[in-house]
Amino acid sequence: MSDYKSKMKQEYLELTTRISKLRRMIVMSKADKLEFKLSCKIELLEEQLEAMEKYALILETRAIIEEIELMEEEL
């Protein structure tokens, strides 16, 4: 696999991991179950999540066009 394809795959994996963590933090915050107090408004975090999800979709679209398998195949 070429270097840029590997980097794109790694970037997508890191991005989707961060999306999951941010989504969970937002849900926990709304349920008042976070162990810490947010220093910014929840709306800002929701905007960030939306932007990250849009970027993930762009990477997915590129991967289809460039024939890059983003997810590891399970054995």
Question: pLDDT tens, 1-57?
Answer: 688 899 999 999 999 999 999 999 999 999 999 999 999 999 999 999 999 999 999
> How far is Cα 9 from Cα 63, in angstroms, rounded to an integer?
9
How far CA 1 is from CA of 9, 43, 59, 61, in Å, comes to 10, 40, 17, 19
Tokens 């289809």 map to which residue? 64
pLDDT value, residue 71: 82
Domain boundary assignment for the chain:
3-66
The model scores a pTM over 0.75 = yes
Q: Are 7 and 68 in contact (CB under 8 A)?
A: no
